[in-house]
Structure 1
Amino acid sequence: MQIQNESPYIVHVFVCTNDRGGERKSCADNNSQLVKDQLKKAVDGKGWKGKVRVSTSGCMGVCGEGPNVMIYPQKLWFSRVSPDDVDAVLSVIERLMSEA
């Protein structure tokens, strides 16, 4: 039987890294793995480990707007995220952490 738990994270960041191998547009076409890696490194550097989780996500269904980043449980969605946008996403995470 399943066990239901509450998330241990204040902020859970999902970065789509879906790669369709060039057959159709996908988040991986625009460096989504680099976005994820930069977010993860920054979160660790800020000492948020255990409070903020950065996870890989599969397709979110809006590949044409990718790369896509979702933040839960706050229900925030960022589209067309590039490595240059990582600091802006981190600012949002920092605000959410201060409100928690």
Structure 2
Amino acid sequence: MAKPQRHVFICTQNRPPEHPRGSCAAKGSSAVLQAFWAELQKRQAYEKIAVTYSGCLGPCDLGANVLVYPERVLYRGVTPADVDEIFTSHLEGGTPVERLIAADAIW
């Protein structure tokens, strides 16, 4: 496997429903992860992009959270409908999707 140009981490942290911080799993991160894996397969981008599920990335109440390296861009509130745009604009085109980026004060 070649070294990827970008690495995407999708938070799949799961906490009890009454937990004060909430969790990305409760906000649909499993569907987001599946959408990233499907898009990776559709585009046959295995040599350029790595997609990995992760534990907590920080701002749980803003999930589902997605972190992209090497740019260190944290996306918040990501849904499966956003995945195609993230792939096209950021992962392949190099331009982050501004409307989904978590504010600097948050992360």
TM range (shorter): 0.7 to 0.9
- Kindly provide the CA deviation profile for residues 18-46 of structure 1, in whole angstroms up to 9, marking residues without a partner as x: 01021321001111011011111111211
- Distance across 1 between alignment mates of 2:3 and 2:86: 21
Which consecutive residues of structure 2, in runs of 5 or more, have no partner in the other structure? 95-107
- Distance across 1 between alignment mates of 2:84 and 2:44: 16
- 1:60 corresponds to which residue? 57
1:26-65, aligned counterparts within 5 Å? 26-65=23-62
Amino acid corresponding to residue 29 of structure 1 in structure 2: A
- Kindly provide the CA deviation profile for residues 27-82 of structure 1, in whole angstroms up to 9, marking residues without a partner as x: 01111011011111111211111321110010012101111000001111100111
User: With CA pairs under 8 Å and 6+ residues apart, which has the higher RCO, 1 or 2?
Assistant: 1
Q: Secondary structure at the match of 2:9?
A: strand
Runs of 4+ in 1 over 3 A off after TM superposition: none
Which of 70, 76, 81 is equivalent to 1:73? 70
**Aligned residue pairs, count:** 90
Q: Does 1:10 align with 2:5?
A: yes
Q: Secondary structure at the match of 2:93?
A: helix
Q: TM-score, normalised by structure 1?
A: 0.83
Calculate percent identity across the aligned residue pairs. Answer: 33
RMSD between aligned alpha carbons?
1.4
